[in-house]
Structure formats: structure tokens, C-alpha cells
Structure 1
Amino acid sequence: MRRTAAVIGTAIFFVFAPCVVAGVVPWWISRWEFRLSFPGVELTRFVGAALILAGVAGLVDSFARFALQGVGTPAPIAPTQHLVVTGLYRYVRNPIYLAVAAVIFGQAVLFGDWRLFAYGVVFWLVCHLFVVANEEPTLLKKSFGAEYEALRINVPRWIPRLTAWRAGR
């Protein structure tokens, strides 16, 4: 895959995957209407907004790395040619799923909507099952072998490291 095709494919996948999962579905559930804030403390809404901003930033960064460094897309039908081990991938193996979850949970907190919180839990659970049953075995056995094994050993699946991992050290 050429880098231009990777960028275009990644942009298209961005619109159809995270924008729908973290934008359209939460809107459909909540209509983005403000409810009573979580534990009745209005300041929690700032936490929600911060989670949304951090999630969007993480998504954009990770998607750009897939296209520009990995020369592919996050979509399983057009995977990267190179394993991405820079940026947020130095801290956690699944920053895209975490970023989408952050946006969903951020909306739950911002809008004070428990339904969005429940949706976020279901989203994370589905991601976890997909990662364990499909994504990790594919990356290990079919795609990147020893390179992925080194990442898997040194970088946690869901809870980020406090310091960046440096590949090859």
C-alpha cells in the first residue's frame, strides 16, 4: 500500500468507525442532553470534557501513525505494513480503543448519562474480547512475530506504562 492510499483509507475508516462509535451512537443514546451531573458535582463536567479532548487527540495521533509510519490503516481489511511502536504505542498497546472509550466515558461524565457509561463498558468489553481472540494472535502469528512479541512483553494491553518503552532496548 502506498502512503497516499494509507492516508485516504485511514481517513475514511476514521469517519466510519470511531466517529460512529464515539459520536453517532452516543448522540443516538443521549441526544447530548445534559442531565444531573455525576454525584451532583458540576465540576465533574470538566473531567468529562478533558476525557473527550484527550481521547480525540489520541485518536488523531494514533490514526496518523498508522497511515504515515505503518503505511496502512487501522481497518483489518487494510492493515499496516509496519508495526507502529511510536507515540502512544510506547505506553499502551491499544491506544485507539482506549481513546474511543475515553470519548464515550467523557460524554457520559459531561452529560451525566449512565446509559453512556453502560455503553462505554460494553464497548470496552467487546474491544477486549476482539483484541484477545483475534487481534493479538494475528499480530503475533501472521503479521509481525518477534517484533510484536517484544511489544507485547514490554507494553501493557490496557493500563498505560508511566514511562515510554523504546523498541530495541
Structure 2
Amino acid sequence: MSLRSPTARLAGRTYFALQAVAGAAWWVSVFTVPFVREATLGGLDPVVVAVVDIPLFVVSSALAAVLPGRASRVAAGAATAWTLVVTALLALYATLTTLAGVGVILMIAASVASVGAWLLLVFGRIPTSLLLVGPFAFRPARSRATPLAHVIATATQIVVFWGLFLVVFPLVIRFLEERWRLVLPLPHGVVITGVAVVVAASALGLWSAAAMTVKGDGTPLPSAMPNRLVVAGPYRFVRNPMALAGIAQGVGVGLLMSSWMVVVYALAGSLVWNYAIRPHEESDLARAFGADYLSYARDVRCWIPRLTPVGSRR
């Protein structure tokens, strides 16, 4: 992320100010509107919850917005930690009782935003490089590995990552969506559309993986990246066909399962990839392949495919 202090810290303070106002307004609604109380707290006693939540969520957020320096960071840390605790406990409560599902969704959003604002206050930026660890760290593949070894590694990656991100996680999300009573009625044609999207996106993903493996002397995984710049197959039309395929697969799975939460999960993943991962990946590619990559990036867009393929480069 490009924000730097003090602009970033101002953004963090602004968020906590808005969170304090929103939290106060929500508590007013809890005590005055029965529907809001039921949807967000279920059968929990609002008085008991308010005794703890108002100081730790509303007041701490307000203090994070107005206090100077270290005091602001401490208040922001308290508000963020409490938000994460409440989110986890409310999610457990909703899963066990099927109540307060709307409250869980709101708290998940608040948790993500609070963590981001806290990072802005503490570091003056969001340190997205912390995401690039383990199998997501950028390292070239071993150049001495055989083409067969790269094919096997790529096939293994596809099975593992598709299994996790397109099967296991969506099934868990769909289960929670049902337990939290958040299922929305969707037209029957949505399922057929989902099947078509998954098939088309999977074909694009496999085509991209094959081009990366055969032409790049590596794999799609960041920890075993190609040793050569790949401008072949779908990479002649769009710069990130695998990311495009993965996002479309996730959306397709959501449609197939008639789950709006799975669709949101896929779209949220696309935002993380675009704003947190892609800048690091493109910087790494520019360092590795220099002018060739910069020229390719000028000719081929990140998300919108070209109508005609760009010429191959070596």
C-alpha cells in the first residue's frame, strides 16, 4: 500500500473516529430497535455486553482518534484486540445457536478494518510484505530441475490450492452461512451459470499453468517462480491470467453453491491479491527480467485482455 506517515496515520485515526461514531449509533439502535438487537446480538443481554463493549470498543476507538502519539496507538490496540475477541466469540455463539449472524458479519468487517487502521497508526503503512512468507515468498525455481519435476510440482500445487481455496474453504463458508441464517434466495439459473464459469475459469487456469511450466522453467507458485519471462499462451492476452482465473473460479463456485458469502470471499481475495500481493510480484519481475518485463507490462494490461495477442519475447 502506498500510504505513508503522516498521511497513513491520519487515515488510521479517521477510521477509528468513524468506528467510534458507528459503534455509538449501533448501541443506540440496540436499545431502541428490537430488530437490530435480535439481528446483531441474538439472545445476549445487551446491558451486560454494553458494560464491557462501550468502553473497549466505542471509547477506545474515540481515544485512538484524538490522543497523541503512543497513547493513540495503545487505545487503537485495545479497540482492535477487543474487536477481534468479540468477533471470535460472537461467531462461536452464532454457530452454536444460529442467532446473531448479521452481527458476526458486521464484526468481521470491523475486525479487518480495525487491524488495517491499527497497522497504519503503528507502522505508518500496511506491511503487506509480511504476507510473502513460506510458499508465497518470491524465489526462482531450481534451474537444474527437469521439466518433468516442474510439471509434477505444478500439478501438486493445483491439487492443493484448488482443493483448499475452491473446495474446503467454500464448504466451510457455506456451512457458516447456513448456521448464521444468512442464506439468500437466488434464481435457479445461477447454479448453471456457476458451472459454466468454473469450467471456463479452470480451463484458463490450466492453460496458464501449462504455459508457465513449459515456457518458464518453473512453476506458478511464488516460491518456485519461472526462470524465464513467459509471454506465451494466455500471457499474450492478459498479464495475470492465473489470478483472473482464480477469482473467476471462486465466484463461479459461489454461484454454483448459491452462496453470496463465497462470492464475497472470492472478491475479497481479489482485492488482497491486487493491492497487497501484485505490487510485490511486479517489482520482483521487474528486478528479475528488467526491460523485457517493463516492455511487456506496457503492452499487456493486468486485468483486461487484449483483443489481439502480443508478440512472443524471449
Structure 2: which amino acid aligns with 1:80? P
Aligned equivalents of 2:192 and 2:184: distance in 1? 14
- Residue 36 of structure 1 pairs with residue 180 of structure 2: no
- The partner residue of 2:261 within 115, 127, 141 is 115
Aligned equivalents of 2:278 and 2:165: distance in 1? 20
- Residue 85 of structure 1 pairs with residue 231 of structure 2: yes
Q: Shift of residue 3 of structure 1?
A: 0.9
Q: Shift of residue 44 of structure 1?
A: 2.8
Q: Shift of residue 48 of structure 1?
A: 1.3
Residue correspondence of structure 1 range 110-149 to structure 2 within 5 A? 110-141=256-287, 143-149=288-294
Q: Shift of residue 42 of structure 1?
A: 2.2
The answer to whether the 8 Å contact 2:197/2:249 transfers is yes
Relative contact order, higher structure (CA 8 A, sep 6+): 1
- The partner residue of 2:159 within 4, 12, 15 is 15
The answer to whether the 8 Å contact 2:209/2:220 transfers is yes
Give the TM-score, by structure 2 length: 0.49
What percent of counterpart residues are identical?
34
The answer to whether the 8 Å contact 2:184/2:260 transfers is no
- Residue 60 of structure 1 pairs with residue 206 of structure 2: yes
Q: Which moved more, 1:9-18 or 1:54-63?
A: 9-18
Structure 1: which amino acid aligns with 2:244? L
User: Which stretches of structure 1, 4 residues or longer, exceed 6 Å deviation after superposition?
Assistant: none
Structure 2: which amino acid aligns with 1:129? Y
Structure 2: which amino acid aligns with 1:28? V
Aligned equivalents of 1:11 and 1:111: distance in 2? 25
Q: Shift of residue 56 of structure 1?
A: 0.9
The 3-state SS of whatever aligns with 2:219 is coil
Q: Shift of residue 19 of structure 1?
A: 3.0
- Counterpart in the other structure of 1:98: 244
Structure 2: which amino acid aligns with 1:158? W
- Max radius of gyration: which structure? 2
- Residue 46 of structure 1 pairs with residue 185 of structure 2: no
The 3-state SS of whatever aligns with 1:144 is helix
Structure 1 gap ranges (5+): none
- Residue 153 of structure 1 pairs with residue 302 of structure 2: no
Q: Which moved more, 1:122-131 or 1:97-106?
A: 122-131
- Residue 73 of structure 1 pairs with residue 222 of structure 2: no
Distance 1:158 1:97, change over 3 A: same
The 3-state SS of whatever aligns with 1:132 is helix
Give the TM-score, by structure 1 length: 0.87
The answer to whether the 8 Å contact 2:236/2:311 transfers is yes
Aligned equivalents of 2:184 and 2:299: distance in 1? 41
Deviations 1:125-159, CA, capped at 9 Å, x for gaps: 11102443310000001x11122112101111112
Aligned equivalents of 2:155 and 2:298: distance in 1? 30
Aligned equivalents of 1:130 and 1:73: distance in 2? 21
Aligned equivalents of 1:60 and 1:97: distance in 2? 12
More helix by share: 2
What CA RMSD, in Å, does the superposition of the two structures yield over aligned residues?
A: 1.9
Deviations 1:12-40, CA, capped at 9 Å, x for gaps: 22222233212221122125x99632xxx
The 3-state SS of whatever aligns with 1:165 is coil
